[in-house]
Structure 1
């Protein structure tokens, strides 16, 4: 179930409680919303009901009524949302906020963060203040302007490193809920099904690269890589420009990971814009290069979230 903003939740609760709505106007007055907002929420509710194979809510002369099955489904949505709110810790919520600022697929302001996270204004302010203090160690800062909302001015490579760190942490700590919450908030509702499809295709693309490399990537690394690629895809769709000047491309092009990365990207064209295909090929070659097999034949990956710091080690290993 996708994240429910506060007002939409109120709309759903009122539907379940009344079951029979005499008119759109009366519901709008009761909730203090405009008629246009009610129609928007009705359309949103019908979209979600349709995703679960249920009939849409019908309106006859402005009158709405819920069937028992529709009411049960909506109650489940509300219950799931309540559970998620109670499960997310302060630390997890701050992880989500930081990742939202890094992805920057939407404009985030205090009011919008309050709404989607269902917390107070002071809670959001405290979260941002805590994140600012932690980012100081990396010489990064959180800024805010009216036209853009909150954002972190940082290069794309470092931004990807931080997003990878987010995915790595949620995966190693088994915090699926945190990652799913981020993905819900960073994407639009009509992209929910596509997100699942992309992860399946991403796994197949990595498996294609595995065949070229004649090595198997561990299950956990596979999940981390495909989830990270999903976040990178959002950045690419947002026209974020990527250029990695620190990379010694000649050395990477001599490795088998380079054609493996091309095979991977050929299956996932949404991971790059045409003019940056070569940059992305080098980037994904490095991600694959960071996954090595140790002497015991177990698979051990270098933390490829530390990409900027790894270049010296790559070149040493490649030359010796």
Structure 2
């Protein structure tokens, strides 16, 4: 019996279990019937090696994998190839759109059937759904079919590139490993795509990052540059897929006129020459400009050019924003000159993103809205000044990034320094998030001295020289001999409990399920509707959090730094 998508979902769930769970609890968590769970469990057992004990649910106890079973299940999961993975409709649509956007061959129903491995009727239904989705998008694109070209998109060339960037952003942020393996396998077989998507070009571009940043005098956020390296070949192929006359090309070049005065454009010319010398890949003026736009649009952790005279007006607006925030809120800011510099670097990239429609999502926006509701609201109020001055519209994700910068500069009051011990933080999320993490830790561990904050790379270079009480890291992959607590960049309730417990008792209960997971399990037993249960969970956590903060320090509550 072969494992399908639902079987793999159960397999992943069982591997993650740290406490026994009943079939009923598992069926609720995976939103499948108990009969289906037993069915997929039989399929998993039949796929395991004979020497591994079958996975059985113990009466009144449930299922918990032994170390041997867990290891065998992980090997089984890792061995599944693209042919074992069944795509859902959304994944098929994403794959079809990437194919239509970048392939050089004529797109037909038969080729889409071969690509997605489904029937003709299913492909036709998917194409109908694509048309419906495109009609709701902001990119003004329509899907049409002709005898000469097959299925293609009718739209402005820049709209197509913006759509492709958005599609890939959502895909790489949300897709599971199974679908990403399918995508990689199939895309590399598309006609005309092999060279730009080859491992040789990928490794070459990775090697160019340090040189680009050195020449730019800027440090691009690590996650943003990793994403750029993933999507750049797709964006270039999306442009090369279009048939444009000279007049259309001239119009696009004119649209890119803003970036030709920037240093990113000059540096991209060097990259163009390097690609031509190493792989005989030639870039035209539009492709050079496209790469420069990406470099301009992505968030920077460091920018030595923020004090240049051509950004004097930008600096004036940023300083007005900081002033407005302080005047209209009860918060106090410190190190305002440093805050202005970091906000200026952030807003430079923000304006280029808004100008050229380059999507940059904030994965922490919901957490920030929940945990820093007052700070977020006040930031949003002051951000209206930016919108009016720059004639832009800021999303909640944009506001959340501004909130992070302001949160990292809040002044603390009534802090205690007794029994100080050395605590180091490790965070790869960027300078703004690092500053906010420091403020959170100082708030919840007022008796601890935060002696420094590093990226993983920086920490590894000085690890042997540090005298450490314990480490706090936002990275799951960090390995160290020192006591380590792994937390989220925006501390949740479980993180706070871990920090306070360890700081007081030198004990981290790794074997216990977190408060949030236990609450999920408890509510699921009484409230079958998942949405209602989640709403109640958020209210309960907010209530408990407020009580905890009140007991820790009444004076600190006003800072909203939970």
Q: TM-score, normalised by structure 1?
A: 0.60
Give CA deviations for 1:92-143 in whole Å, capped at 9, x if unaligned.
1111111211113322222221122111112111111111011113432111
1:53 maps to: none
2:222 maps to: 219
Q: 1:211 to 1:262 in 2, by over 3 A?
A: same
Give CA deviations for 1:140-159 in whole Å, capped at 9, x if unaligned.
21111233221112233222
The SS at the match of 2:165 is helix
Q: 1:234 to 1:193 in 2, by over 3 A?
A: closer
2:300 maps to: 293
1:89 maps to: 88
Give CA deviations for 1:220-239 in whole Å, capped at 9, x if unaligned.
21222112211134346657
Query: How large is the RMSD of aligned CA atoms in angstroms?
Result: 3.8
Which structure 1 residue ranges, 5 or more long, are not aligned? 1-75
Q: How far is the alpha carbon of 1:79 from its aligned partner?
A: 5.0
The counterpart of 2:286, out of the listed 272, 279, 291, is 279
Does residue 110 of structure 2 align to residue 108 of structure 1?
no
1:171-320 to 2 correspondence within 5 Å? Answer: 171-175=172-176, 177-188=178-189, 191=194, 195-235=198-238, 241=244, 244-245=252-253, 247=255, 249=257, 251-269=258-276, 273=282, 276=284, 278-293=285-300, 295=339, 302=350, 308-309=356-357
1:117 maps to: 116
2:161 maps to: 160
2:130 maps to: 131
Structure 1 Cα separation of the partners of residues 165 and 159 of structure 2 = 10
The SS at the match of 1:152 is strand
The SS at the match of 2:212 is helix
Q: 1:142 to 1:193 in 2, by over 3 A?
A: closer
Higher relative contact order (CA 8 A, sep 6+): 1
Contact 1:142 1:153 in 2 (8 A): yes
The SS at the match of 2:219 is coil
Which structure 2 residue ranges, 5 or more long, are not aligned? 1-76, 302-338, 359-386, 392-562
Give CA deviations for 1:231-256 in whole Å, capped at 9, x if unaligned.
1343466575555245352x423322
Structure with larger Rg:
2
Q: 1:83 to 1:279 in 2, by over 3 A?
A: same
Q: How far is the alpha carbon of 1:289 from its aligned partner?
A: 1.0
Structure 2 Cα separation of the partners of residues 273 and 239 of structure 1 = 17
Length, aligned pairs only: 234
Contact 2:82 2:185 in 1 (8 A): no
Q: TM-score, normalised by structure 2?
A: 0.36
Q: How far is the alpha carbon of 1:304 from its aligned partner?
A: 7.4
Structure 2 Cα separation of the partners of residues 240 and 305 of structure 1 = 26
Q: Which has the higher helix share?
A: 1
Q: How far is the alpha carbon of 1:308 from its aligned partner?
A: 3.6
Q: Which shows bigger deviation, 260-269 or 182-191?
A: 182-191
Q: How far is the alpha carbon of 1:192 from its aligned partner?
A: 8.1
Contact 2:224 2:299 in 1 (8 A): no
